[in-house]
Structure formats: C-alpha cells, structure tokens
Amino acid sequence: MNVLRWWWGLLLAFALVALVRVFLPLPFANEIIIFSIYTMGCNYLLGRIGFISFGQPAYLAVGAYATAFYLFYFGNNPYVGILIGVLAGIVVSFAIGPLFVRLRGDYFALVNLALAVIIFYLMQKVLAGITHGDNGLWFLTSMTSTPVLDLSRPDQFFIFAFLVAFALWAFYKYLDDSIFGACCLATKLNEDKVKFLGYSSFNIRLFAFVIANTTTALAGAMYAVYLGFVSPEITSPARAADPVVVTILGGVGTLYGPIVGSIVYTGMKDVLSKVLGNWELVIGFVLVFIMLAGEKGIWGTLEPLIKKTFLRVTGNAADRGGSSR
C-alpha cells in the first residue's frame, strides 16, 4: 500500500502522457517524450546539485553522434546504436567530469556552454570528413527493423521511448529516496557540512554529473534513431538554453517538472510559431516572469493545489503521496 502511495503520481503522470498520444499527432508526442528525457538530466543537475548547465546540447550531441556513427558506418541495429550512444555519454562525462565539477557554479555554466560550441564546430568543420558537415548523416533507410519493438517505425518508437522515459523516471525517483540523492541535495544546500560529515562532495558531484549527462546522451541517441539523421544543428549555441528553459518552466527539482515543461514548451513552440512567427519572444518573457514570480515553475505552482484537492478527496491528512519536495 505504501509503495502504491509513492508511485501513484508517477503512474498518473504517465497515464496522462499515454492520453497525449491518443489526442495529439505522433511526431508531437515523440518530441515531448524525447525532450522530457533530455530535460531530466538538466533538471537533476539544477535541482539536486545546484549546477546550471548551458551546455547540455554538448552531451546531447555526444549521444546522437555516437549513435549516428554506428548506424552510418558500422551496423544497422538501432538498439545497439542507442546503447553505443549511452556508452559514449558515460565515457565522455567521466572524462571531463573531474575537470568540470570542481569549478564554481557560475564557471561551470560558462565552461559547459563553451564545450557545446566547441563540439558544434568540431562536428561542423573539423571532422567534416566523417560527419559530412552541415549536411549531416542520413541513415533512416539503413536501419533494419528489429523484433518486438520496431524502432524504425514512429508508432512503435513511441512505445519504446515511453518505456525508457518511465524507467528513467522510476530511476530518478529511486535516486531521490536513496542516500545518494540525499547527499546530492545536501551538497547543493551546504557543501561544507557534507564534507564535515565525511562524504566526498567531489565524488557526489562527479557521479551526479555522469548520471545527468548520460541521461542527456540517451536523449541524443533517441533523437538520432527517431529522426534518422544527425546534423551539427543539434548542438547549435542558439538552442543551448532549451533544457534550462524547460526545466525552469516545469519547476526546478520536481520530478514531474520535465514532462510538464516539455509539453508546455513543445506546445508553445508549435502553436506560437504558427501564430506569431517568433516564439523566442514569448519564451524569454515567460522565463523572466517565472523567475521573478518565485522560480517555482508550472508544476511547482500546481503541485500544492493538486495535493490539497487530492487530500480533501481522500480525507487523509497524513498522506505524503506524490511528494517530490
């Protein structure tokens, strides 16, 4: 019963996403799912470690290009491609993590953005012989159909992405309740005390960095498989703030923030770009407004209201269900 109480929120959220699939066109639903995986990494960094990263596209590109290289040059099984993307994410974040996590929060953000730009130029110009520069790598037709879930078909890809996202959410939920999650949060709030208690704040940050960026790389790998092509545009500096914006929009550090943020952001992008033509204007002002209004985001504002209503219905005052701090 206790387990159910903890998980009802998660199940509810995913029931809503499944509903989204029924009512909205498939590309839109796929976009939302992948984008929320993308945002989860950033959300973990910002909400749990207190590190803001303007360079998430760098890790997205690492995953996407690792997958693309495999699918373009070596093999044609999308599952193996995604696996390679994730491995690349782990390797890259372990390689640069020790260097990055010892920086102060503000320098961390700046260095990450610089990394994203470097990877952009690396893929666009320096490695143009392998990556085909701005033309990108196309491998949509070379992917073989796989048994059980055929990733080369968008409708089956959605089910796969849905399952992956659900597993990730469960994983982050588990992390939040574990000692490691508590340590992460403690590092954000008071690093000195964490050190005093005998934990290595460096190790905690490093592992959180690796976890978050591997998640991002996974999102990149899934983008690659879903779109069937990868171009340097994926890590363009102009899109560097997307995950941060979505994280803020949804609510920093909340579990459901990424999904709410992704739905709203993708929706706004689709609707507003048809009506207005330049949706950055609205996104920018919404971002400033949310920050000035107390940086709680959409989910952070809605959560207490929902909880109150829910408690009133069940009449259970001690219910901690769906709590995500």
Partner 1 sequence: MIDMQLLISGIIFGLSLGGIFFLMTIGLSLCFGLMRIISLDQLLYYSIGGYITYSVSLAVGNIWLGVLGGVIVGGLAALAVERIVFRRIYDRDLPFTMITSFGVLIGGVGVIKYFWGLVPRPVPVPIDAQVFIIGTEIPVYRLVIIGIAGLVYVGIWLFLNRTIIGKAIRAGTEDVEHVEGLGINVYRLFTITFVIAGGLSGLAGGLHAPLIMVDPNMGLEVLAFVFMVVIIGGLGSIKGTLVSSFLVGQVVSIGSLIYAPLAQMAPFAIMLLILLIRPTGLFGSQMLKR
Report yes or no: 213 and 93 within 8 Å, Cβ to Cβ. yes
Q: Considering the complex, what minimum distance in angstroms separates the CB of residue 209 from partner 1?
A: 15
Nearer to partner 1, 108 or 226 (CB): 108
Q: CA–CA separation, 184 vs 130, rounded Å?
A: 39
- Residue 37's contacts (CB-CB under 8 Å, 6 or more residues apart) are 161, 164, 165, 168, 215, 218, 219, 222, 258
Nearer to partner 1, 87 or 268 (CB): 268
Nearer to partner 1, 192 or 198 (CB): 192
Q: CA–CA separation, 169 vs 324, rounded Å?
A: 12
Q: Considering the complex, what minimum distance in angstroms separates the CB of residue 249 from partner 1?
A: 11
Rg (CA), the chain: 20
Q: Considering the complex, what minimum distance in angstroms separates the CB of residue 138 from partner 1?
A: 23
3-state secondary structure of 138: strand
Q: Considering the complex, what minimum distance in angstroms separates the CB of residue 135 from partner 1?
A: 17
Nearer to partner 1, 102 or 308 (CB): 102
Burial (CB count <10 Å: 0-12, 13-18, 19+), residue 14: middle
**Interface residues with partner 1 (CB under 8 A)?**
46, 50-52, 54, 99, 102-107, 109-111, 113-118, 121-122, 125-126, 237-238, 241, 244-245, 248, 277-288, 291-292, 295
Q: Considering the complex, what minimum distance in angstroms separates the CB of residue 133 from partner 1?
A: 11
Report yes or no: 10 and 324 within 8 Å, Cβ to Cβ. no
Nearer to partner 1, 92 or 161 (CB): 92
- 231 DSSP assignment: -
